[in-house]
A and B are shown apart, each in its own frame.
Chain A
Amino acid sequence: MTVAWQQDQKRLTPDQVQSASFPMSRLGRRGYDEEHVRQFLAQVEQEIVTLMNEKTSLWNEVQRLRRRIIGRENGGDAVLFGREDAHVHAVQILSKAQLTADRYVADAQAYSHRLTEEARSRRDEILAEAQEHAEMVLKEASARAHEAAMAAFSEPPGGATEQERRGLQAELAYLRAFGEVYRTHLRAYTEGMLRSIDEWERREARSLEQASFDAAQGGDTRGGTGGGTAPDPVPPGAPSPEIVPPGGASPGSGR
């Protein structure tokens, strides 16, 4: 170690402390206890070693910084080392802030993604249920109509009395009317269902507006032609056209 203060002759070194001796007291008991003195000296030695290590590292740091200042002055670079350190510090602070912003945006986006996904799967469930229900009703109605028609035709021509025939025709008329009313109700019900789904969707879009506007950045890698990559739940498809004719029955009549 070629550090400057070691050349100062007045300085106490650990060696000096270690080799220091204390004359024994002639009156025996009145002198210092030798063991205590030794212990104390060991402590002093340790302390000095520690101090010297600390000073050495500080000295190295001073030298390093001094070299940088000199280098700047000779090299013609106008930026002082202090400013450059401050700049790196600022870059690190900004980087940390940017990462935080990135995370907030990603979180908002993930939330929006989850919300849309859940809404979609609920929509699909409702649609599937409605479709199933509609199909069941339709099947039942057509089975009954078929039954009635079969009954009417299988009646032996001469076997039925005029009264029986009239009764059967009345029942057929009733069944037709019943089927018509049922279809009307079913249309109105299904359309109402679709309208409320549309309304739900509009509201969801509005509420998502804020969330996604905050997100507003990142994600959504490729729209358009690559847009089918998002993992969608499995939708069962729209109701079949028999169930929901365009502009079907009078709206609201069945509710």
Chain B
Amino acid sequence: MYGDEVPLFFYSDLFIKYPEVREMFPISMRAQRDHLVGALAQIVSQVDDLEALTAFLQSLGRDHRKFGALADHYGAVGASLLATFAHFAGEGWTPELAADWAAAYDLVASVMIDAARRDEVLRPPYWTGTILACERRGYDIGVLHVRPEPRLDYLPGQSVSIESPRRPRLWRFYSMANAPRPDGTLEFHIRMVDGGAVSMALVYEVPVGEEIKIGPPVGMLTLDPTSGRDILMVAGSTGLAPLKALIEQIASLPRPPHVHLFFGARTADELYDLPSLDKMAGEYPWLRVVPAVSHDRRFNGEVGNITDVVARRGNWAAHDAYLAGPTEMVRRTAEMLAAAGMPGRQIHVEDFGWSEA
């Protein structure tokens, strides 16, 4: 009913009452307001599924550690949230209503604070990553080599959020492109988004030796090692990163399943990691790599939309599918596979949940 007015009032109220909190947010609050409304909507919609709601709040609480959120901040947020509700409810805001909302908020906050506290014993609020190298691949893609401190444990296929000191308070998610290594180093594939503040800084500006902040690993695009089915992977551009990490994990299995990897891009120049993939395919007899480009008729290989290329190369219904890349590509491919008879639980796509800020 009030749209943007409500979160706008909330943050202004919070920053006036607790000016020190302002530092924790970016200059532009546009995306932030959407996040707040999104989180509130998710809480309300899950109110009948306590298990899912608790899991959501716990991950939210853990994730907020990287922003520097402390237990004290939750009280401030609660006070401003109630003040906001009171302001917009007007005459309808009764003491009983206020007490109900306060109790509900306290419950939400205590779940988040509790999860954050238990997480404190296990890991730091964020990792400090030192840039070891940045390779430019083609014109718009950078491969970043990073050493996190302390060691960062994760499952292949997962992602982390990254904040560059050149773009403070802007966190962006990137997938690790390798399975965990003995030396703990990570590889990220970063595609420059036109006008994208963070990706531009990471591809063009970040020098070797600079330190970035790395948030906790998230994401459900992880291997189901019990399925026994062969695997279809479809990567669009830098969506290759999590799938490459999965291939490394599969290589360490005693009996690796057959893996078909389709690697799609607009042009041959954007198939930025093909030499490395060809090398893997040469090494692993169970791996087949099929590159495809959509906008380059001169390309010596599969030409066309990656979803169509996958569709015309066989029926995949008996496979497990792992899809990563641009949202639209992932959606189309998942729909195509489902229509071709692949059960939904066999289709694994990237899911970052709600934790971006």
Interface locus among B68-76, B188-196, B250-258 = B188-196
Nearest-CB distance from A127 to chain B (Å)?
A: 9
Residue among A90, A218, A232 making CB contact with B28, cutoff 8 Å: A218
Q: How far is the CA of A243 from the CA of B94 in the complex (A)?
A: 78
Q: How far is the CA of A98 from the CA of B28 in the complex (A)?
A: 7
Closest to A227 in B: B191
Tell me how many residues of A have a C-beta within 8 Å of chain B. Answer: 53
Residues in B neighbouring A116, C-beta threshold 8 A: 192, 194-195, 200
Residues in B neighbouring A105, C-beta threshold 8 A: 27-28, 30
Q: Are B202 and A101 in contact (CB under 8 A)?
A: no
- Binary interface profile of B, 314-350, with partner A (CB < 8 Å = 1, else 0)? 0000000000111111000000000000000000001
Q: Are B197 and A219 in contact (CB under 8 A)?
A: yes
Q: Are B194 and A113 in contact (CB under 8 A)?
A: yes
Residues in A neighbouring B159, C-beta threshold 8 A: 224-225
Interchain residue pairs with CB less than 8 A apart (11): A88-B87, A94-B12, A101-B28, A212-B197, A213-B166, A218-B30, A220-B172, A220-B197, A223-B202, A235-B295, A237-B299
Residue with the greatest number of chain B CB neighbours at <10 A, chosen from A109, A113, A218: A218
Nearest-CB distance from A54 to chain B (Å)?
A: 25
Interface locus among B178-186, B210-218, B261-269 = B261-269
Q: Are A114 and B238 in contact (CB under 8 A)?
A: no
Residue among B26, B31, B239 making CB contact with A226, cutoff 8 Å: B239
* Given A216-B27, A217-B170, A98:B8 Cβ within 8 A: yes
Residues in A neighbouring B167, C-beta threshold 8 A: 213, 216-217
Residues in A neighbouring B172, C-beta threshold 8 A: 220, 222-224
Closest to B198 in A: A220
Q: Which residues of B approach A to under 8 Å, CB–CB?
A: 8-9, 11-13, 15-16, 26-31, 87, 138-140, 159, 166-170, 172-175, 188-202, 204-205, 236-239, 241-242, 265-269, 295-296, 298-299, 324-329, 350, 352, 356
Q: How far is the CA of A167 from the CA of B188 in the complex (A)?
A: 62
Residue with the greatest number of chain B CB neighbours at <10 A, chosen from A205, A208, A230: A230
* Given A91-B13, A229-B327, A235-B267, A223:B194 Cβ within 8 A: no
Nearest-CB distance from A42 to chain B (Å)?
A: 41
**Interface flag for A99 (CB, 8 Å):** yes
Residue with the greatest number of chain A CB neighbours at <10 A, chosen from B26, B204, B239: B204
Nearest-CB distance from A218 to chain B (Å)?
A: 4
Residues in A neighbouring B87, C-beta threshold 8 A: 88
Residues in A neighbouring B295, C-beta threshold 8 A: 234-235
Q: How far is the CA of A234 from the CA of B173 in the complex (A)?
A: 26
Other CB < 8 Å A-B pairs besides A112-B194, A218-B30, A218-B31, 10 of them?
A101-B28, A112-B197, A205-B204, A220-B193, A222-B173, A223-B172, A223-B198, A223-B202, A235-B295, A237-B268
